[in-house]
Amino acid sequence: MVKRLISADASDVLAMDGAALKQSIKASEGRVVLSENVVTHEAMDGLTTSEYAAAFGADLILLNALDVLKPVILGLYPGEETLATAQPHLDGEVIHRLQHLVGRPIGVNLEPVDPAADMAENRLVIPAGRMASEETLAAAQALGLNFVCLTGNPGTGVTNAQIAANIKVAKRVFHGLIIAGKMHGAGVNEPVVSIDATQAFLDAGADVILVPAVGTVPGLDDADLKTIVQLAHANGALVMSTIGTSQEGSGASYIQAVAIRNKILGVDIQHVGDAAWGVQSPFENIYAMSKAIRGERHALQRMARSINR
């Protein structure tokens, strides 16, 4: 059996495959924190956003805006703190280097863009290396990423149907954990969350169902989320609630209230997004979430545990 993620050393978690990581999260009983970070903003004091997130207690690191075909993570290499000074690292070691620095499982957002989506706003066009496809999912596997998150940034035209289609591709070419769902509309005229979409994700083989946290998108209430959680758990999947609506910058009291409310509803992972600063959540909010859902003891040991263990 595996160690629960909230008590595991870096050497334990980085050796886990997708199935082991899933069980490790499940064993943590709703006390896992995931921090999403944009990788293409200027590095702060020469450090990656992931190092800051890990230092404040994140168990899982999700990279946003990473082009897996031309990977650049600002601050990862000396002298590459801006896009003007960085070059794509094509030697296949970029993710291994980041894992070595932070001692955490690393994932990436890949976006299942639907060119036929009924858009509610202007479409934001993103590079092919950020879209979900067989090529990018295979690249995620080759880079050594621990998980992929099939979701959409604002305005990119990601649909639930396209997410389900890409889960099936991921099951063929990617061996890590597969997270899937929408945090918000992603610019599309469709319900963000539905029972039908959730069932389609489960049937396609998703390991973790991604949902907006209650308190982040209009109309999603406790009963809606509880139904999704029960459906996912009955099908052997986990659930991740997400704060991806810039409310990750709403302050510690808001973060703590949302964290407790969604823990009561049974989610397994709690995500704090990157939109507050356009880079990642204010660091004190990662700690606030960590302390709220697992107490000071586990919050501090996650921050203090050496990555050399």
The 3-class SS string of 175-224 reads CCEEEEECCCCCCECCCCCCHHHHHHHHHHCCCEEEEECCCCCCCCCHHH
Q: What is the pLDDT of residues 61-105, one digit of tens each?
A: 999 999 999 999 999 999 888 888 888 999 999 999 999 999 999
- Residue 251 pLDDT: 86
- CB-based contacts of 98: which residues, under 8 Å, 6+ apart? 48, 50, 61, 73, 76, 106
Percent of the chain at pLDDT above 70?
97
- Residue 6 pLDDT: 95
- Residue 8 pLDDT: 96
- Residue 144 pLDDT: 97
Q: What is the pLDDT of residues 160-176, one digit of tens each?
A: 999 999 999 999 999 99
Model pTM score: 0.96
Q: Is the pLDDT of residue 117 over 70?
A: yes
- Residue 280 pLDDT: 53
Q: What is the pLDDT of residues 234-267, one digit of tens each?
A: 999 999 999 988 888 888 899 999 999 999 999 9
Q: Is the pLDDT of residue 43 over 80?
A: no
- Residue 157 pLDDT: 93
- Residue 230 pLDDT: 98
- Residue 46 pLDDT: 86
Instruction: Supply the Cα-derived Rg of the chain in whole angstroms.
Output: 18
Domain 5-304 of CATH type 2.60.120.620? no
Q: Is the pLDDT of residue 281 over 80?
A: no
